[in-house]
Structure 1
Amino acid sequence: MARDPDTIQRDIEQARDALASTLDQLSEKADPKKLVDDATSSVKSKFDDPRVKAALIGVGVLVAVLVVRRLFR
């Protein structure tokens, strides 16, 4: 069954609009600045966890002790 040219044109325009919308969404998600900002906020939130802070302090103290022992041997 043949389709009406106006219907075909509307379908093409709807597909074009949907494609443009999808491309806009992809370009927003793939924006390097946004990716860096998201990663930075994720890391900052991890460091705000008291358990992570305690572990990092412990590792820092251990490294400092090992360096001091090594220097005075």
Structure 2
Amino acid sequence: MASVYILYSKRLNRFYTGSCHEIKLRIDQHLEKLYKNSFTAKTDDWELFFSIENIEYRQARHIEKHIKKMKSKQYIFNQ
């Protein structure tokens, strides 16, 4: 099973949307800056804003792409 999630950084006032198989592990990777050149490595104050868990990976990717395509904080807040 998989998850889609939205992280929020107060410092950057930005959201990050992703999908994964193990949400806790993936969020820890973001906070530990495992991928040094990634967007989430810019700060370490990411908080889980929203998640949908226990769905098929294909569905999680579809939801992630849809959210990213909207490119809107207002869209995220309205969900």
TM range (shorter): under 0.3
Taking structure 1 as the reference length, the TM-score comes to 0.23
Looking at CA atoms only, which structure, 1 or 2, has the larger radius of gyration? 1
Whichever structure has more strand as a proportion of its residues is 2
Whichever structure has more helix as a proportion of its residues is 1
Taking structure 2 as the reference length, the TM-score comes to 0.21
Select the structure with the greater relative contact order (CA < 8 A; seq sep ≥ 6). 2
